[in-house]
A and B are shown apart, each in its own frame.
Chain A
Amino acid sequence: MIEWLYLAVQAAALAMSAWFFVDTARSRQVGRRHFVGVAVLEALLLVQLAVSIAIVPGEAGGGKALFFSYLVTTILVPVAACFWGSIDRSRWGIGTVAASGLIVAALLLRVHQIWELQIHV
């Protein structure tokens, strides 16, 4: 993993989560701007995936299947949260998508751990 890219994706996930939780507190409905926010995070995650596909197979360590299964799960979580959250008319519609940002951050932490401890040795 490229360190600055990893940190940029983490920052984007946490920023999206913070922004959406603010909108939760303000009882905002899920709107177009939220989908744009999720799309930006997803784009960054896909860049992370593309870079990983380029560099991970060439590394010496093991645990590569685990690495990619975590990374693909990470990419799917905000998408699932958008479908599941946006049908709710209460404040917790956007609150659910906000929580997915924290889940992405936690999963990325684990992806990075696998990279540091098992793959990039």
Chain B
Amino acid sequence: MSETGSAEAAPRSLAAGFGRLIVLVYVVFAVSAGARALFQVATKFGDAPVSFALSAIAAVIYLVAAVAIIRGAGRLAMLAVGIEMAGVLAVGGLSFAVPQWFPEPSVWSHFGSGYGYVPLVLPAVGLVYLLKRRSG
């Protein structure tokens, strides 16, 4: 209903509507995961190199996804969110299978339990949103 507010037939930006909420959450995660990773890499990288490197990679992917959605680059956004989904599933599984690799938690270990499982829910919601926007 309210989604058809504009009079022009111009295609709606990916970052409009629900996409706006998604971008906010992605930016917050990029900043918090990034700042945390920088802090950990700078102060205690040797303690848990795998965890900290993964957190840094996650931060970059969150940032790419946010920028891609803002710029309307649908395919890049899909790629970033897809990698994110694969990453959280792989790292989440590995953190249970090989816990000694993760003496300190990363954003994605235990499927993001340290972040209220938002890292697991976010790519799922993002993929559904991007697929819906592509077909609609």
Interface residues of A, Cβ cutoff 8 Å to B: 27, 66, 69, 73, 77, 80-81, 84-85, 88-93, 95-96, 99-100, 103, 106-107
Residue of A nearest to B3 (CB): A90
- The residues of A that contact B21 with a CB separation of less than 8 Å are 85, 92, 95-96, 99
Confirm or deny: B90 has a beta carbon within 8 angstroms of a beta carbon on chain A. Answer: no
- The residues of B that contact A91 with a CB separation of less than 8 Å are 2, 17
Do residues A73 and B20 form an inter-chain contact, with CB atoms below 8 A?
no
Do residues A77 and B28 form an inter-chain contact, with CB atoms below 8 A?
yes
- The residues of B that contact A100 with a CB separation of less than 8 Å are 24
Residue of B nearest to A27 (CB): B2
How many residues does chain B have at the interface if contact means C-beta atoms less than 8 Å apart?
Answer: 22
Q: A27-B2, A69-B35, A73-B32 are in contact. Are A93 and B20 (CB under 8 A)?
A: yes
- The residues of B that contact A92 with a CB separation of less than 8 Å are 16-21
A91–B20 Cα distance when bound, in Å, is 10
- Counting chain A CB atoms within 10 Å of each CB, the highest count among B23, B24, B31 belongs to B24
Do residues A95 and B2 form an inter-chain contact, with CB atoms below 8 A?
no
Do residues A99 and B17 form an inter-chain contact, with CB atoms below 8 A?
no
- Counting chain B CB atoms within 10 Å of each CB, the highest count among A27, A66, A89, A96 belongs to A96
A27–B5 Cα distance when bound, in Å, is 12
- The residues of A that contact B19 with a CB separation of less than 8 Å are 92
A93–B20 Cα distance when bound, in Å, is 7
- Counting chain B CB atoms within 10 Å of each CB, the highest count among A66, A84, A91, A92 belongs to A92
Output the least CB separation between A41 and chain B (Å): 16
A59–B50 Cα distance when bound, in Å, is 33
Do residues A106 and B5 form an inter-chain contact, with CB atoms below 8 A?
no
A93–B115 Cα distance when bound, in Å, is 24
